[in-house]
Amino acid sequence: MSPTTVLLLLSLVLQTPLNALKTSKDCIGGGGGDGSLQFDLYLTSCPLAEAIIFSGVQRAVADDARMAASLLRLHFHDCFVNGCDASVLLDDTAEMTGEKTAGPNANSLRGFDVVDGIKAELEMACPETVSCADLLAIAARDSVLLSGGPTWPVEVGRRDGTVASLSMATTNLPSPTSGVATLLQKFENVGLSAKDMVALSGAHTIGKARCSTFASRLTGTGDRLFLQSLRQLCSGSPSSNGTTTASSLVHLDVGSPMVFDNQYYANLFAGEGLLQSDQALAGEAGEVGLLAKAYAADEALFFEDFTASMVRMGRLAPPAGSSGEVRKSCRAVNS
């Protein structure tokens, strides 16, 4: 599929959501931290930017369906550390230890090679124009769309950071073992609400997790047969090829693992939330529990709130005064 064809397809898909979001933008909030984010920044400077990104994500997901969740997760893990500045993509240097080896990211984040490939295409089409941070935001949207979920217009105009923070990645990112109070605090710390937390948790309707990330669930409460199957899968006993199952990957959503839908929330109320941080939502009284229950009952409501929260998260800006650039390579600052 040519970039022009992809652009036409994408524009048709986006037409209705774009009109809807424009009419409700005041309800979502202002632009980025410096007011620079906008919807059509690349319309003249790099008109094929979104088509190039969509095509790259489409190829990656066709080759590995799990990549959709991985690219979505990269955007999350980027924005929670000094705002959405693509710092998560920076490799370590002699002067700086990046975020890739932080506890929440090490041996977990993936898709860096996919980002590299898309960035290389963007640089050929429009040198030093499309930031890596915008690439991540658009790829996250496309990953959801290609998984059967909703779409939304992505505001662009982010600058790429020139530093990364191992310590902030270690402390800022939510943990799969966190309780609701901790989750709410982590989101509040970056300016996101309880509603954002519950809606964005729905990203776990796609993707997988290693046994080590949900070990606490093996002895927790929930559906008996579900927990029994997890204990068997994660027992660590030798498998037929001589390896152990302790590092097995398990679907976050056992009901419809490859489709972006609201099944994740239904799973929670059936006691089938994989992560402790997920299952905790169903047992919470007040706004958190009511929202999770509402999303389980109404997929359209979940989609509406999820897309609005993605836009809000995408507006998380680096601290005032931070320098930025459009990196030529997403792995390194410009020389």
Active site positions, annotated:
77
Residue 142 assigned to a binding site: no
Residue 255 assigned to a binding site: no
Q: What is the C-alpha to C-alpha distance for residues 139 and 113, in angstroms, rounded to an integer? A: 13
Alpha carbon 326 to its chain's center: 21
How many C-beta atoms lie closer than 10 Å to residue 322's C-beta? 15
Residue 261 assigned to a binding site: yes
Q: What is the C-alpha to C-alpha distance for residues 186 and 332, in angstroms, rounded to an integer? A: 28
Q: What is the C-alpha to C-alpha distance for residues 227 and 31, in angstroms, rounded to an integer? A: 44
Alpha carbon 59 to its chain's center: 18
Residue 180 assigned to a binding site: no
Residue 298 assigned to a binding site: no
- CA separation, residue 87 to residues 99, 172, 184, 236, 318 (Å): 7, 14, 23, 35, 10
φ, ψ dihedrals at 30, nearest 5°: -75, -170
Contacts 24+ apart (CB under 8 A), 303-306: 303/149, 303/150, 303/262, 304/150, 305/195, 305/199, 306/149, 306/150, 306/199, 306/200, 306/202, 306/203
Residue 99 assigned to a binding site: yes
Residue 170 assigned to a binding site: no
Residue 75 assigned to a binding site: no
Residue 17 assigned to a binding site: no
Widest Cα–Cα separation across the chain: 58
Residue 253 assigned to a binding site: yes
Residue 78 assigned to a binding site: yes
**Residue 161 three-state SS:** strand
Residues within the annotated binding site for substrate?
Answer: 174
Residues within the annotated binding site?
Answer: 78, 81, 83, 85, 87, 99, 174, 204-205, 253, 261
Residues within the annotated binding site for heme b?
Answer: 204
Residues within the annotated binding site for Ca(2+)?
Answer: 78, 81, 83, 85, 87, 99, 205, 253, 261
